Chain A
Amino acid sequence: MTPDLEQTPLLSVELLNKSFGRQQACRDVSFDLWPGEVLGIVGESGSGKSTLLNAIAGRLSVDSGKVLYRTGANSIIDLASASDAQRRHLMRTEWGFVQQHARDGLRMGFSAGANIGERLMALGDKHYGKLRDTALDWLQAVEIAPERIDDLPRTFSGGMQQRLQIARNLVTRPRIVLMDEPTGGLDVSVQARLLDLLRRLVQEHNVACIVVTHDLGVARLLAHRLMVMRRGQVVEAGLTDQLLDDPQHAYTQLLVSSVLSV
Chain B
Amino acid sequence: MKQAYETSATLAGYNFAFLDEQTKRMLRRAILKAVAIPGYQVPFGSREMPLPYGWGTGGMQVTAAVIGAKDVLKVIDQGADDTTNAVSIRRFFVRMTNVATTEKTREATLIQTRHRVPETPLSEGQILVYQVPIPEPLRWLEPRETETRKMHALSEYGVMHVKLYEDIAQHGHISTAYDYPVLVNGRYLMRCSPIPKFDTPKLHMNPALQLFGAGREKRIYAVPPYTEVKPLDFEDHPFEIERWPEDCALCGAHDSFLDEVILDDKGGRMFVCSDTDYCGERREAGHTGRMSAPYKAEAAE
The reply to whether A and B meet directly (CB within 8 Å) is: yes
Using a CB–CB cutoff of 8 Å, the interface residues on chain A facing chain B are: 84-85, 88-89, 92, 107, 110-111, 113-114, 117-119, 121-123, 126-129, 131-132, 149-150
- 4 A-B pairs closest in CB distance: A122-B158, A121-B161, A128-B234, A121-B158
- Chain B: minimal CB distance from A39 (Å): 29
Q: Which of B156, B158, B163, B237 contacts A128 (CB 8 A)?
A: B237
Q: Are B234 and A114 in contact (CB under 8 A)?
A: no
Q: Are A113 and B159 in contact (CB under 8 A)?
A: no
Interface residues of B in 232-263 (CB under 8 A from A): 233-237
Q: Which of A110, A119, A123, A126 contacts B166 (CB 8 A)?
A: A110
Q: Are B236 and A150 in contact (CB under 8 A)?
A: no
Q: Are B236 and A122 in contact (CB under 8 A)?
A: no
Report the Cα distance A85→B156, complex, angstroms. Answer: 10
Q: Which of A111, A118, A123, A126 contacts B170 (CB 8 A)?
A: A111
- Chain B: minimal CB distance from A126 (Å): 5
Q: Are B169 and A113 in contact (CB under 8 A)?
A: yes
Q: Are A118 and B162 in contact (CB under 8 A)?
A: yes
When A127-B236, A128-B234 are in contact, do A85 and B154 touch as well, CB less than 8 Å?
yes
Report the Cα distance A110→B163, complex, angstroms. Answer: 8
Report the Cα distance A199→B150, complex, angstroms. Answer: 36
- Chain A: minimal CB distance from B298 (Å): 48
Tell me whether chain B's interface is mostly helix, strand or loop, or mixed.
helix
Q: Are B168 and A110 in contact (CB under 8 A)?
A: no
Q: Annotate B158-191 by CB proximity to A: 1 below 8 A, 0 otherwise.
A: 1101110110111000000000000000000000
Interface residues of B in 52-99 (CB under 8 A from A): none
Q: Are A128 and B168 in contact (CB under 8 A)?
A: yes
Report the Cα distance A119→B170, complex, angstroms. Answer: 20
Report the Cα distance A85→B170, complex, angstroms. Answer: 33
Report the Cα distance A131→B234, complex, angstroms. Answer: 10
A113 proximity list for chain B (CB < 8 A): 165, 169
Report the Cα distance A41→B170, complex, angstroms. Answer: 41
Q: Are B150 and A117 in contact (CB under 8 A)?
A: no
When A88-B154, A113-B165, A150-B169 are in contact, do A129 and B159 touch as well, CB less than 8 Å?
no
Select from chain A the residue with minimum beta-carbon distance to B237: A128
A92 proximity list for chain B (CB < 8 A): 156, 158
B162 proximity list for chain A (CB < 8 A): 107, 110, 114, 117-118, 121
A132 proximity list for chain B (CB < 8 A): 169
B156 proximity list for chain A (CB < 8 A): 88, 92, 122
- Chain A: minimal CB distance from B7 (Å): 52
A85 proximity list for chain B (CB < 8 A): 153-154
Report the Cα distance A88→B159, complex, angstroms. Answer: 14
Interface residues of B in 203-259 (CB under 8 A from A): 233-237
Q: Are A122 and B165 in contact (CB under 8 A)?
A: no
Report the Cα distance A107→B169, complex, angstroms. Answer: 15
Residue among B153, B158, B168, B235 having the largest count of chain A Cβ atoms under 10 Å: B158
When A127-B236, A128-B236, A129-B236 are in contact, do A118 and B158 touch as well, CB less than 8 Å?
yes
A126 proximity list for chain B (CB < 8 A): 161, 233-235
A121 proximity list for chain B (CB < 8 A): 158-159, 161-162, 165
Residue among B153, B162, B170, B237 having the largest count of chain A Cβ atoms under 10 Å: B162
29 pairs across A/B with beta carbons < 8 Å?
Answer: A84-B154, A85-B153, A88-B150, A88-B154, A110-B163, A111-B169, A111-B170, A113-B165, A113-B169, A114-B169, A117-B165, A118-B159, A119-B158, A121-B159, A121-B162, A121-B165, A122-B156, A122-B157, A122-B161, A123-B158, A126-B161, A126-B234, A127-B234, A127-B235, A127-B236, A128-B236, A131-B165, A132-B169, A149-B169
Select from chain B the residue with minimum beta-carbon distance to A88: B154
- Chain A: minimal CB distance from B12 (Å): 53
Q: Are A150 and B237 in contact (CB under 8 A)?
A: no
Report the Cα distance A88→B235, complex, angstroms. Answer: 26
- Chain A: minimal CB distance from B112 (Å): 35
Q: Add 16 more A-B contacts to A89-B154, A119-B158, A122-B159 (CB < 8 A).
A: A84-B154, A85-B153, A92-B156, A92-B158, A110-B163, A110-B166, A114-B162, A117-B165, A121-B158, A121-B161, A121-B162, A122-B161, A126-B234, A127-B234, A128-B165, A150-B170
- Chain A: minimal CB distance from B240 (Å): 14
Report the Cα distance A117→B161, complex, angstroms. Answer: 9
- Chain B: minimal CB distance from A249 (Å): 42
Interface residues of B in 97-122 (CB under 8 A from A): none
- Chain A: minimal CB distance from B159 (Å): 7
Report the Cα distance A245→B166, complex, angstroms. Answer: 50
B236 proximity list for chain A (CB < 8 A): 127-129
- Chain A: minimal CB distance from B70 (Å): 46
B169 proximity list for chain A (CB < 8 A): 111, 113-114, 132, 149-150
Report the Cα distance A176→B158, complex, angstroms. Answer: 21
- Chain A: minimal CB distance from B230 (Å): 11
A127 proximity list for chain B (CB < 8 A): 234-236
Report the Cα distance A182→B169, complex, angstroms. Answer: 29
Report the Cα distance A121→B158, complex, angstroms. Answer: 5
Report the Cα distance A107→B150, complex, angstroms. Answer: 19
